[in-house]
Amino acid sequence: MGWNRKVLRVNLTTGTCSTEPLNMAWADKYLGSRGLATKYFVEEVDPKVDPLSPENKMIMTTGPLTGTMASTGGRYSVVTKGPLTGAIACSNSGGFFGAELKFAGWDQIIFEGKSPKPVYLYLENDKAELRDAGHLWGKTCWETEETIKHELHDPQVRVSSIGRAGENLVRFACIVNDLHRAAGRSGVGAVMGSKNLKAVALRGTKGVSGIKDFKEFMKVTAEKKKVLADNAVTGQGLPKYGTQVLMNVINEIGALPTRNHRDVQFEEASKISAEAMHEKRPTDGKAHLVTNAACFGCTIACGRISEIDKGHFTVQNNPKYWGASGGLEYEAAWALGAANGVGDLEALQYANLLCNEDGMDPISFGATVGAVMELYDLGILTAEAIGVDSPFGSAAALARMAEMTARGEGFGKELGEGSARLCAKYGRPDLSMSVKGQEFPAYDSRGIQGMGLTYATSNRGACHLRSYTVASEVLGIPVKTDPLATEGKPELVKAFQDATGVFDAAGICVFTSFAWTLADIQPQIQAACEGDWSLEKLNEVGERIWNLERQFNLAAGFTAKDDTLPPRLLKEPAKTGPAKGLVNGLDKMLPEYYQVRGWTPEGVPTEETLARLAL
Amino acid sequence: MLKSLHIDPMKCTGCLQCEMACSYEHHGVINPSKSRIKVFSFEHEGRKVPYTCTQCSDAWCMHACPVEAITLDAATGAKVVSESVCVGCKVCTIACPFGTINYVSDSGKVQKCDLCGDNPACATACPTGAITYVDADWTGLDKMRQWAAKANTAVAAE
């Protein structure tokens, strides 16, 4: 059956834990994880709720394939209302935490209320216990994980925690598990911090036994692993180069946002690329990259494990950063690097380590630094105000701002508000490269037109993981489309958005979609889960999830006016590269997108659409 | 031909497909905590190392067992625990220098790798070739081949 059919509800206000059966009627309509938890969330939470108030809830959730031998079946999601955006937030993480939750016998944990004092949840199979976390408050994610393992006398415990960023309610704080995997975006870590919940520690020894047809499941998951192994992207490119393989590619097509999107190509891109991570450094003769690594059950293994240059100015007096650790992935390398014009790979890794250590989303953090550097460039912010000289390209400024934000010191408190609030405060809201308050990831929508529509309509604010049309527009997966054209993009974006919802809801990694389509996932779900899971049904589940999230956002106060891009992308043409002279053609795509979605011209799902999706 | 499990930690990504496969083979569930092969992660070195019983010829566990619950499977060379004979005294877990025979509290018996009757599920599941099942007399064959290739290159360069 895939699901454990068991939900843990933790009331942090009263300090009580209770068990309830999973709503299987909802599971049949929303599958799991992102879909199912969002259904729970919208049923239980007022859309107008202040994200950082006790009335907001936070759900840690798994899918039916989480904790199984389906490749990449280790994902879990955190669903809540995001403090960065005020929209529905669903942040997804790999590592080993999600599978452990399944092994302990649960599908999801619903956190509600606010604890009067710092606590952490310890879950050992059926036993759930809130424990004092007073001694953990003020500690980093790394220290928290180590301390919890030590005090529970159990090195096999899996921990998700917030660092100081989450405690300080940094609006892009994330929840870090297994040292360097994170539910990264939209500030889910700040929600956890607002609840005085420091960590969740899991130990599960029950395993997953409820697969509907085990024999068929083992057979089909083995076949589908072979599909991943035989594919050039998932079988070769990602394991060898990681997501960083994109740095030079995206730069070449003129879609690498540089210096807060002033430029679309970065002259030092090759210095912060995957290839650079493989090269031996002149300083110590070692390559930055140590090895690749897999999350639970993943046969792709795109993760990067690196060793920073011990002699680099950022860490030369700080041996705790000298060991192997996670990074750099493409999004982080871009946000910490090109977005700020910084071409110093070691400095990027240092900032990335601080993001992992204290739980910050490197995309939103890096992009916020980019906005600050532009405000500095324009003379609106001074070195005195920021605390450091902050011209574009300054590795020292990047490192210092990462320290300040992670620790909540000085100007770091302003950085922790994210670029939208910060730029508005200094009178230049137009300089925040964000949608619905969330910063762009690493693709400039002048050079990849479909990504403009993706960002504008993403239910959790600007994001590449809601419809990765880069796959089609740049890599030709599943079919090649012209990145500079707007024609056909509304249908493309809708198709990607709906399919991605299913990948997320199933509990597997969206990176499998470089090789798999829904037709590859369908038989895996069919073998694991009770009920009839046809391709048509899965498509409908994806579309239903998208519309459910949209309805929540509309009820939260968002309108079609929020489905837009910053003026820079709509008015300032790209200066170089294949997209030179182009702006994003959102006005050509958006009305058609609403139509394709079955929404009114105001972006509201019609009665017909809602009825068709049984919403 | 007798075969051995051969482990190359350099190829391991830490995905735990082996642990899942082992638990499914022996317990019918996907449950790494019941696996007889274990992947260790050395975070600060960036190393992952799968570890399991190497099937000692002169096995400490077998000698230590007071009820002769551990016997040699002559076909595979595996030292196999007979659950019906094992009394769960755990003396074998003390005797084994490598820690690769372990007590299972659910059953009250010990368990160890039995090579799945000559078809180890972990090796089949491993996506990177970090765990292979090879000729017991030639576990070093791949390494020899690699060095041999280098030797040839060196000669050619001269």
Q: Which of A155, A94, A105 is nearest to A128 (CA)?
A: A105
**Predicted local confidence at residue A467, as pLDDT:** 97
**Predicted local confidence at residue B19, as pLDDT:** 98
**Predicted local confidence at residue B74, as pLDDT:** 95
Residue B155 pLDDT > 70, yes or no? Answer: no
- Provide mean pLDDT across the span B4-24: 97
Element (H, E) at A292: strand A289-293
Mean of the per-residue pLDDT values of chain A: 98
- The CATH class of the A6-203 domain is alpha beta
Within 13 Å of residue A480, how many CA atoms lie on the same side as its CB?
4
DSSP string for residues in B7-34: E-GGG-----HHHHHHHHHHHSSB-GGG
The whole-angstrom separation of Cα B95 and Cα A21 is: 45
**Predicted local confidence at residue A497, as pLDDT:** 98
Q: Which of B106, B73, B63 is nearest to B88 (CA)?
A: B106
**Residue A352 near residue A305 (C-beta atoms within 8 A):** no
CATH architecture of A449-612: Orthogonal Bundle (1.10)
**Predicted local confidence at residue A2, as pLDDT:** 87
Burial track B71-89 (b if 16+ CB lie within 10 A, e otherwise): eeeeebbbbbbeeeebeee
Domain residue spans of chain A: 6-203, 256-434, 449-612
Residue A83 pLDDT > 90, yes or no? Answer: yes
Q: Per-residue confidence at B156, pLDDT binned at 50, 70, 90?
A: low
Q: Per-residue confidence at B151, pLDDT binned at 50, 70, 90?
A: confident
- A contact set with B (CB within 8 A): 67-69, 71, 96, 99, 103, 156, 179, 204-209, 211, 214, 218, 225, 229, 239, 290-299, 301, 303, 305-307, 323-325
Residue B158 pLDDT > 90, yes or no? Answer: no
Residue A55 pLDDT > 70, yes or no? Answer: yes
- Provide mean pLDDT across the span A364-375: 98
pLDDT digits (tens, 9 = 90+) for A106-148: 999 999 999 999 999 999 999 999 999 999 999 999 999 999 9
Percentage above 90 pLDDT, chain A: 100
Q: Is the dihedral of CA B8, B12, B17, B20 positive or negative?
A: positive
Residues of A in contact with B49 (CB under 8 A): none
Residue A313 pLDDT > 70, yes or no? Answer: yes
Percentage above 70 pLDDT, chain A: 100
- CA of B63 vs chain A CAs: smallest distance (Å): 30
Residue A506 has a CB neighbour count (10 Å cut-off) of: 33
pLDDT digits (tens, 9 = 90+) for B35-88: 999 999 999 999 999 999 999 999 999 999 999 999 999 999 999 999 999 999
The whole-angstrom separation of Cα A187 and Cα A165 is: 10
Tell whether B39 lies on the interface with A, counting CB pairs under 8 A. Answer: no
Work out how many CB contacts closer than 8 A connect A with B.
86
Structure tokens at A533: 């899971």
pTM: predicted TM-score of the whole model, two decimal places: 0.97
**Predicted local confidence at residue B128, as pLDDT:** 97
Residue A395 has a CB neighbour count (10 Å cut-off) of: 23
Element (H, E) at A354: helix A345-358
Which of A67, A307, A324 shows the shortest C-beta gap to B30?
A67
- C-beta atoms of A208 and B31 within 8 A: yes
Residue B157 pLDDT > 60, yes or no? Answer: no
Query: Which of the 8 DSSP states describes residue B111?
Result: E
- The CATH class of the A256-434 domain is mainly alpha
**Predicted local confidence at residue B150, as pLDDT:** 86
- C-beta atoms of B31 and A305 within 8 A: no
